[in-house]
Structure 1
Amino acid sequence: MSSSEEDVPLVRANGRANPTPPLVKSNGKSPINGDLDPGVSVRFGAVQDDDVKMGDAHGDAHSVSKRKSRASIDQKKSYAEQESSDEDDQPLSKRRRTSVKHEDPETDDDVPLALNGRKLPKASETAIGEESDSDVPIERKLSAQKKKIEAKAKADAPAARKAAASKKEAKSATTKKQTNGVKKEQVGDKSALKKAKAVPDTLKKGTSKVKAESADVDEKDEDEEEYRWWDDPTKGDGTKKWMTLEHNGVVFPPPYEPLPKNVKLKYDGVPVTLHPEAEEVAGFFGSMLNSTHNVENPVFQKNFFADFKDILKKTGGAKDAQGNKIEIKEFAKCDFKPIFEFYDAQREEKRNLPAAEKKAIKAKKDEDEAPYQFCMWDGRKQKVGNFRVEPPSLFRGRGEHPKTGHVKTRVQPEQITINIGKEATVPPPPPGHNWKEVKHDQEGTWLAMWQENINGNYKYVMLAANSDVKGQSDFKKFEKARELKKYIDKIRKDYQKNLKNDLMVERQKATAVYLIDQFALRAGNEKGEDEAETVGCCSLKYENISLKPPSTVVFDFLGKDSIRFYDEVQVDPQVFKNLKIFKKAPKKNGDEVFDRLTTSALNKHLQNYMPGLTAKVFRTYNASFTMSNLLQEMKATGTIPEKVKAYNDANRRVAILCNHKRTVTAGHANAMEKMSERIKGLRYQKWRLKMQMLDLEPNLKKKKGAAFFERDEDLDMEWIKEHQTFLIEEQTQKIKKKFEKDNEKRVADGEKEMKVSELNERLEVVKEMEKKFTKENKSGKVEAEGRGPTVEKLEANITKLDHRIDTMSVQAQDKEDNKEVALGTSKINYIDPRLTVVFSKKFNVPIEKFFSKALREKFEWAIKSVDEDWEF
């Protein structure tokens, strides 16, 4: 069967259909692991040696086709705006590639570059472990819940379709307009356009009005009516995103300042002089010697040194003090320590600047950048997100990126394209330079763009996350996921049916949709020859899938951001059979499993069910629908921290069921140890208070019992002495910092600084503390402290400490439970923020407990548009 014969039935060489192997018992369960449901992760570790090795089960090599990774085709550039990325909130998330394989890249998932040609890490290095208190993984415990949620989705879909149809009929039957605080001027209103065309004072450089407004970016005109765009039915109907657009361009990084003459790179012990361009690159590496994760990475070193040698060759190389040429051949002979020491001293000096001076520097920076912080979009003032051009540096990348260490070159104005209204004044480029191009692309929401040199991606200056345009993009994303509710039952019914389709292309399509829906796999883009091997569902290679009969599949590949995706899952027996067929000989390592399918073809298939439906919508739908069901069943009670933990528990279930996993961070153990020490410290304080009660009333030991006054077993004398040393040092640092701040304030107010004798006098408190601890350790008694101490006051303080210990213990447990799941990813990108608002209002938990200030601005539309009865 040739790769082009997509309509040829899936048959044997002898013309008979392949029989289905007896993988399923009559009761619907597999012979092995019969207690597990398909669609559930069963990860227990790496694949064992006895795993299935795929061979040609039926026929010779000529009976089954194979196809290598498809060749890349050139992508025609388009400046039309795409939807905001599901993966992050960065304004530059709209990326483009110089080489892609799909014929329809606009609909593909965005999977960044990855490890190129390097071996994957061992499974044990990234495997998500089981619960500490059980031998049964949480995924298996949640299998019944997942099945229940899917059944509810199937039951809800017909009602959702019916409700949508009724709403459509009602809408067509009435022409009544809603106001809801929406401004009366519409996009086509001439008066509004005329008003927008006038260049506002806020965009004129150097005006006092700009300075005043930039001082508080949240400040709004009192006379300006709040624009509730989420209630505006006319918004977003057309393809044009704006009618008028004015802005002041971008802010470039400062030029390079050469190192002092006494600070030089040493090669084989000899200080060398470099051209400023080469010296700047050497400084990139030298300044980050404290980042051992990067500078000790062999790939980082190799890529940096290759670029460094190229720049040396271009700029005339290195010379010694006498002007003799020094050829730099070996990285190991390069000594960057003098450069690091110089930049580290600069950083330390900056850290130690007086608070007043730091404030003045920031104020000057804000004043200089004020004209760039806002634009006028259809006559409305909007905040710009990333108006600063990225400075040159060494590329780091996420995960195990193969290009880490390469030099990110300085972006020149000649590389930048400006997007602005036809009637607006084009911002001038820096003196002596020109813009690459000036466009008037009304379909794009970008203000400026350029192509970076590392991956060839396009970087965009976009509006801030809290702007109307970005908010509308998020709103549309979650509304599209809500719309999928109406069709999910039909989609699942169809792909279950087509898992046995006679046509290979249809069977591959159904299997891919199953994996994307059940295991939250990204669809995946194909890569050009110069790109790294990150993959998604449609671009899975032979070696990325291992099969363990009767129905277990092990995925092991580098996914988005070069992050390893490793999971062992239980699948539908027919899906297992299909994958076995898709991997059939003569396929081998490097060949694609889904050789009849592209991401764009899959997305076009999905759009037959629902306009605008793509593979990535399933992740948002499954996360939001799951969270919605969990919230309906939730009974959050207790304190605020306990309610927050209940929310996080639900979020964690979503992350696990939707496969939003992560590896445990390097600093997790250290962070948990610090929290544990803080809790032990509180318990030590509690014990001291009890001993002070005994000091006031010794007979309390009989009244309350000796057990009440016993010290916890883990608070032994060795730990107590260490903790006391810590408390003494902590108090010393507090006094010194307070002394420095008081002196800074006096200088700012024109008063004389306090003398060192004042500091020594303040430190007497520490000496008294040290004496007190020594006496307590010898006598085993603690004298009552404070003004007018009483047993009642001490008991009240113990109650407060108990509350703090309980709160911190809940937080510690929450942190430990969340170490292997990406709650932030779920909460920000996949769970509809309106569901978090519903929880906040329903259980009286401040929204600040879930969303930072930046997220509250980003999700203002969600916070203001729903009440506690809203449903996804």
Structure 2
Amino acid sequence: MPSDISDDDVPLARASHVSAPTISPSTDREMDKSASKARPGPPGASIRHGPVDDRMDIDSTPNGNAKRKSRSSINQAVKYKEESDSDDGAPLAKRQKSKHKKAESDSDDEPIARKNGPKLPPSIKETATLESSDDNQPLGTKIAQRKADIEKAAAKEAKALRADAKAKAKAKSTSKKDVKEESDDEPLAKPKKRQSNGVSSTKKVNGVKKEAESDSDAPIAKKAKKAAPASKKGKAAPATKTARSVKSESKENSEGEDDEEEGYRWWDAPKKEDDSIKWTTLEHNGVLFPPPYEPLPKNVKLYYDGQPVNLHVEAEEVATFFGSMLHSTQNVENPVFQKNFFNDFKDILRKTGGAKDMNGNPVDIKDFKKLDFTKIFEHYKAISDAKKARPAAEKKAEKAEKEKMEAPYMYCKWDGRKEKVGNFRVEPPGLFRGRGEHPKTGTVKKRVMPEQVTINIGKEAKVPDPPPGHKWKAVQHDNKATWLAMWQENVNGNYKYVMLAANSSIKGQSDFKKFEKARELKKHIDRIRADYTRELKSEVMADRQRATAMYLIDKFALRAGNEKDTENEAETVGCCSLKYEHVTLKEPNTVIFDFLGKDSIRFYNEFVVDRQVFKNLKMFKKPPKEDGDDIFDRLTTSQLNKHLSSYMPGLTAKVFRTYNASWTMSQLLQKLKVEDRTMAEKIKLYNDCNREVAILCNHKRTVGASHEAQMEKLTDRIKGLKYQKWRTKMMMLDLDPKLKKKKGAEFFELDPDLDEAWIEQHQKFLVEEQKSKIQKKFEKDNEKLQAEGEKPMPEKELKERLKAATELEAKFKKENKTKKVEAEGKGVTVEKLTTAIEKLDERIRTLELQCADREGNKEVALGTSKINYIDPRLTVVFSNKFKVPIEKFFSKTLRDKFKWAIESVGDDETWEF
């Protein structure tokens, strides 16, 4: 397709070094002159992927390419219970001089590079993620071949779908003609039935024609009507739950709580005439504001230059924001975080009269390093520890009180239905953390007041009352908006919205439309790929740039990228907004990307691309271009999306990520053979497919900071079961010493993974674990007695119960000395012990599968693929077909989010993406 932009359309801000509008044959040939004689690698493979840390040692090479030193694995002794990191009492300025502590955290607000330290994601050569093979074929070649096979299958499917649609249209036309001839006497005004089997209808929304969403194969509503028969009372539940049984169970559990929303099957409901109208009636109770600030006790002060200072209550609150998070060293020791906080802190000091010493004399706070927040941190840590140490009954009462306070805000009435509200709590004030290398990290997030909040509600509904002494900024009745309340935060000037929960019908419909849009792309993917492959050699520069961008977005899941306000946020980029310095070329066909991507997370990856794409990128970087110049200087995201919409209404660059993930998963699941597999093996097979999707679609990540510790714990659990298995075998010998001769001495030998030092450590753990269980049981029994108005048991009862742990300790010491284990339990026999060993073997096998699964997942973002890009109906079909409970793949939160997928597919085992 010809380009729709001219030389005059190039934005002025980017016109310093702009590529020529056309490409001459001589320029094309020139790009081949410097090519090395090395054989190009197979295109379509990712060599490395993920953010990197600036602090690592690198050997710089021209144009930003860097060879990073290989990562050495660190084996650490892992204990059963994690030890909490204790902060010393030194002032912050002194603590900064010491080594940074690596805080393990799963917070989304932390940059991955900071979480994981200077670790690089592994090379593709080190990543055995596809099924192992005895051949010598490189993994990169295997991945490239797998991608090529999947793309061939996609092209075949697209042609078949178009041929089928054409045949149906022809048959439909013939049928209508026949009907017309046979029914000339029928009334002309007879209404026509609405078409829903993939034939799209157009309707006007806000003056713009919009294509109605459609199913490419058959209406989901028709498929969903095939429901499972109602279970009879008294019938035992099956041992294995399918997706349908889990759905039914969740219905029963929630009956009476939110029965109205449970009963609304929007996927079966007819489509609205005007899709822009989101609701007719809307009622809700507004938002829940955080509690007011509680001033510090008089003995807890901020220290400056070794002396305590008094602050105005507003300044003191800001000081507590920083002081309460000293444990989060990745934030408080970040120079940008410190700078932004200190600037805001000085501003609030100026507005509130400044700081004063104990005698009332002014204190000029101008050096951040002289601030000591230790006392504040210790105060909040003591409060936190005290809360954790409270009796269970007190915690339960507090939880009940909290739920009672939140109850009015948790649900709204949306067109008469009860729908759950998502984020009804207004964010409390604090320090903005941001994600990645955000330039405003550490800035003070001010307290949101009711006067900043706009309420969106039905005209006939009662407007919720604002807190006493306050009023709302505004009240509106916009039935084309899906938010309930809105305000503007002070850090980036962004608007925050209170929306419905992820499991609501509105959110579900949004997900449904996203995946249906990806399904619709199946019909057009072959034409799109053929066109951009041809245009990679176009003489028109704009067309060639667009084709190259489409190649990168389709093959390597690069985000399209949008223009950013660099004053307010980091200069994050995507494919269309890549700069000269973000791309390094390595002959013969390797492209290295290094830039700040979404959420300011650094993206570093090496791709093996088609030779023509490599040539094009070299052309787009041709002098006089230099750092700061755009690679795709004749392309914008809006122009790219406009071009894509010519193939299919509503098609944008981001649809490719969803399509590629779902189509790939669909192909992999269809080829699975799970006959005679255990439950654990079936789950691992599914995760293996998910992992391949993540790799083939480049949803990879760096190894988590806590991965090694988690693997050690899992390994310890396996070793614990092996120790238990060995003790059981020794009990068999205690009952029948002749078994040693019958089964052979090797059968009774200690597992090679176990040694005496580990066994002694494990025995101590078992003793401490039993003591802990006895202690908790004693406390729980006493709480129950107190609740019933009875006298609690005395401490001597606890001491009596703890004797069991003392006896276990003595037993272990005797076993270590005599190397014999006495048989335990009532009526114990060799046969019973043999059965116990078989069960232990099964548990060990399951944990070993989990261990292998986690090890394979350490570099792959399975959650990203499964939650955002893989159609959840594929997981439901797998669950139905192979009788695996859906909760093995979807948590309760995800089952609520994807309720529409679970119920619309029902018990169907044949649904296809």
* Equivalent in the alignment of 2:151: 150
* Equivalent in the alignment of 2:895: 856
- Alpha-carbon distance in structure 2 between the residues aligned to 1:119 and 1:760: 47
Residue 725 (structure 1) aligned with residue 764 (structure 2): yes
- Alpha-carbon distance in structure 2 between the residues aligned to 1:137 and 1:425: 67
Please report how far the alpha carbon of residue 419 of structure 1 lies from its aligned counterpart in structure 2 after TM superposition. 1.3
* Equivalent in the alignment of 1:32: 38
- 2:418 aligned counterpart, secondary structure: strand
Contact 1:114 1:533 in 2 (8 A): no
AA paired with 2:594? D
Residue 568 (structure 1) aligned with residue 609 (structure 2): no
- Alpha-carbon distance in structure 2 between the residues aligned to 1:449 and 1:685: 58
Residue 868 (structure 1) aligned with residue 909 (structure 2): yes
* Equivalent in the alignment of 2:336: 299
* Equivalent in the alignment of 1:438: 475
Q: 1:44 to 1:359 in 2, by over 3 A?
A: closer
- Alpha-carbon distance in structure 2 between the residues aligned to 1:871 and 1:681: 43
Q: 1:578 to 1:594 in 2, by over 3 A?
A: same
- Alpha-carbon distance in structure 2 between the residues aligned to 1:594 and 1:615: 15
* Equivalent in the alignment of 2:307: 270
Please report how far the alpha carbon of residue 17 of structure 1 lies from its aligned counterpart in structure 2 after TM superposition. 5.2
- Alpha-carbon distance in structure 2 between the residues aligned to 1:578 and 1:497: 13
* Equivalent in the alignment of 2:161: 160
* Equivalent in the alignment of 1:286: 323
Instruction: For 1:667-816, list aligned pairs within 5 A.
Output: 667-816=706-855
Contact 1:130 1:138 in 2 (8 A): yes
Please report how far the alpha carbon of residue 113 of structure 1 lies from its aligned counterpart in structure 2 after TM superposition. 11
Please report how far the alpha carbon of residue 170 of structure 1 lies from its aligned counterpart in structure 2 after TM superposition. 8.0
AA paired with 1:332? K
* Equivalent in the alignment of 1:42: 47
CA RMSD of aligned residues (A): 3.1
Please report how far the alpha carbon of residue 216 of structure 1 lies from its aligned counterpart in structure 2 after TM superposition. 8.4
AA paired with 1:387? F
Contact 1:114 1:558 in 2 (8 A): no
* Equivalent in the alignment of 2:441: 404
AA paired with 2:155? K
AA paired with 2:486? M
* Equivalent in the alignment of 2:591: 553
In the alignment, structure 2 segments of 5+ residues that lack a partner are 1-5, 11-17, 53-57, 66-107, 177-190, 198-251
- Alpha-carbon distance in structure 1 between the residues aligned to 2:510 and 2:619: 41
Please report how far the alpha carbon of residue 493 of structure 1 lies from its aligned counterpart in structure 2 after TM superposition. 0.8
Please report how far the alpha carbon of residue 375 of structure 1 lies from its aligned counterpart in structure 2 after TM superposition. 1.3
Please report how far the alpha carbon of residue 714 of structure 1 lies from its aligned counterpart in structure 2 after TM superposition. 2.9
Match of 1:10 among 7, 22, 47: 22
Please report how far the alpha carbon of residue 681 of structure 1 lies from its aligned counterpart in structure 2 after TM superposition. 0.9
* Equivalent in the alignment of 2:83: none
Please report how far the alpha carbon of residue 139 of structure 1 lies from its aligned counterpart in structure 2 after TM superposition. 4.3
Match of 1:361 among 398, 415, 438: 398
Contact 1:382 1:463 in 2 (8 A): yes
Q: 1:870 to 1:752 in 2, by over 3 A?
A: same
Please report how far the alpha carbon of residue 31 of structure 1 lies from its aligned counterpart in structure 2 after TM superposition. 5.4
- Alpha-carbon distance in structure 1 between the residues aligned to 2:158 and 2:147: 17
Please report how far the alpha carbon of residue 298 of structure 1 lies from its aligned counterpart in structure 2 after TM superposition. 2.7
Contact 2:124 2:140 in 1 (8 A): no
- 1:229 aligned counterpart, secondary structure: coil
Q: 1:179 to 1:592 in 2, by over 3 A?
A: closer
- 1:666 aligned counterpart, secondary structure: coil
Q: 1:232 to 1:139 in 2, by over 3 A?
A: farther
Please report how far the alpha carbon of residue 524 of structure 1 lies from its aligned counterpart in structure 2 after TM superposition. 0.8
* Equivalent in the alignment of 1:413: 450
Residue 835 (structure 1) aligned with residue 847 (structure 2): no
Q: 1:850 to 1:844 in 2, by over 3 A?
A: same
Q: Please, which moves more after superposition, 748-757 or 456-465?
A: 748-757
- Could you report, residue by residue, the CA deviation over 1:227-256 in whole angstroms, capped at 9, with x for unpaired residues? 221122424752111122221111111111
- 2:292 aligned counterpart, secondary structure: coil
- Alpha-carbon distance in structure 2 between the residues aligned to 1:763 and 1:696: 29
- Could you report, residue by residue, the CA deviation over 1:112-167 in whole angstroms, capped at 9, with x for unpaired residues? 9999xx99999854555644669987444222111000011111112222444566
Please report how far the alpha carbon of residue 652 of structure 1 lies from its aligned counterpart in structure 2 after TM superposition. 0.4
Please report how far the alpha carbon of residue 868 of structure 1 lies from its aligned counterpart in structure 2 after TM superposition. 1.0
- 1:537 aligned counterpart, secondary structure: coil
Please report how far the alpha carbon of residue 332 of structure 1 lies from its aligned counterpart in structure 2 after TM superposition. 2.2
AA paired with 2:665? M
- Alpha-carbon distance in structure 2 between the residues aligned to 1:606 and 1:470: 25
- Could you report, residue by residue, the CA deviation over 1:697-729 in whole angstroms, capped at 9, with x for unpaired residues? 111100000000000223111111111112112
Contact 1:385 1:462 in 2 (8 A): yes
* Equivalent in the alignment of 2:69: none
* Equivalent in the alignment of 2:356: 319
- Could you report, residue by residue, the CA deviation over 1:567-596 in whole angstroms, capped at 9, with x for unpaired residues? 111111111111111111222122211111
Q: Please, which moves more after superposition, 701-710 or 542-551?
A: 542-551
AA paired with 1:657? L
* Equivalent in the alignment of 1:19: 29
AA paired with 1:295? V
Residue 621 (structure 1) aligned with residue 633 (structure 2): no
- 2:607 aligned counterpart, secondary structure: strand
- Could you report, residue by residue, the CA deviation over 1:189-240 in whole angstroms, capped at 9, with x for unpaired residues? xxxxxxxxxxxxxxxxxxxxxxxxxx98663677999322112242475211
Q: Please, which moves more after superposition, 762-771 or 123-132?
A: 123-132
- Alpha-carbon distance in structure 1 between the residues aligned to 2:805 and 2:258: 52
Sequence identity percentage:
65
- Alpha-carbon distance in structure 2 between the residues aligned to 1:513 and 1:284: 45
Contact 1:838 1:870 in 2 (8 A): yes
- Alpha-carbon distance in structure 1 between the residues aligned to 2:49 and 2:455: 52
- Alpha-carbon distance in structure 1 between the residues aligned to 2:303 and 2:465: 42
- Alpha-carbon distance in structure 1 between the residues aligned to 2:271 and 2:168: 17
- 2:48 aligned counterpart, secondary structure: coil
Please report how far the alpha carbon of residue 324 of structure 1 lies from its aligned counterpart in structure 2 after TM superposition. 1.2
- Alpha-carbon distance in structure 1 between the residues aligned to 2:279 and 2:169: 28
Contact 2:456 2:475 in 1 (8 A): yes
Q: Please, which moves more after superposition, 224-233 or 284-293?
A: 224-233
Q: Please, which moves more after superposition, 761-770 or 831-840?
A: 761-770
* Equivalent in the alignment of 1:631: 669
AA paired with 2:669? L
AA paired with 1:10? T
Q: 1:591 to 1:236 in 2, by over 3 A?
A: farther
Match of 2:429 among 392, 407, 411: 392
AA paired with 1:43? R
Residue 819 (structure 1) aligned with residue 850 (structure 2): no
Please report how far the alpha carbon of residue 396 of structure 1 lies from its aligned counterpart in structure 2 after TM superposition. 1.7
Instruction: For 1:41-80, list aligned pairs within 5 A.
Output: 41-43=46-48
- 1:763 aligned counterpart, secondary structure: helix
Q: 1:171 to 1:301 in 2, by over 3 A?
A: farther
Contact 1:300 1:406 in 2 (8 A): yes
Contact 1:553 1:571 in 2 (8 A): yes
Q: 1:221 to 1:528 in 2, by over 3 A?
A: closer
- 1:404 aligned counterpart, secondary structure: coil
- 1:684 aligned counterpart, secondary structure: helix
- Could you report, residue by residue, the CA deviation over 1:264-284 in whole angstroms, capped at 9, with x for unpaired residues? 111222111111111111111
AA paired with 1:746? L
For normalisation by structure 1, the TM-score amounts to 0.83
* Equivalent in the alignment of 2:486: 449
Please report how far the alpha carbon of residue 328 of structure 1 lies from its aligned counterpart in structure 2 after TM superposition. 1.7
Instruction: For 1:208-219, list aligned pairs within 5 A.
Output: 219=256
Contact 2:116 2:704 in 1 (8 A): no
- 1:42 aligned counterpart, secondary structure: strand
Q: 1:306 to 1:569 in 2, by over 3 A?
A: same
- Alpha-carbon distance in structure 2 between the residues aligned to 1:540 and 1:44: 17
Q: 1:711 to 1:833 in 2, by over 3 A?
A: same
Q: 1:569 to 1:440 in 2, by over 3 A?
A: same
What is the total number of aligned residue pairs between the two structures? 772
- 2:399 aligned counterpart, secondary structure: helix
In the alignment, structure 1 segments of 5+ residues that lack a partner are 55-111, 181-214
* Equivalent in the alignment of 2:222: none
Contact 1:384 1:462 in 2 (8 A): yes
Contact 1:113 1:561 in 2 (8 A): no
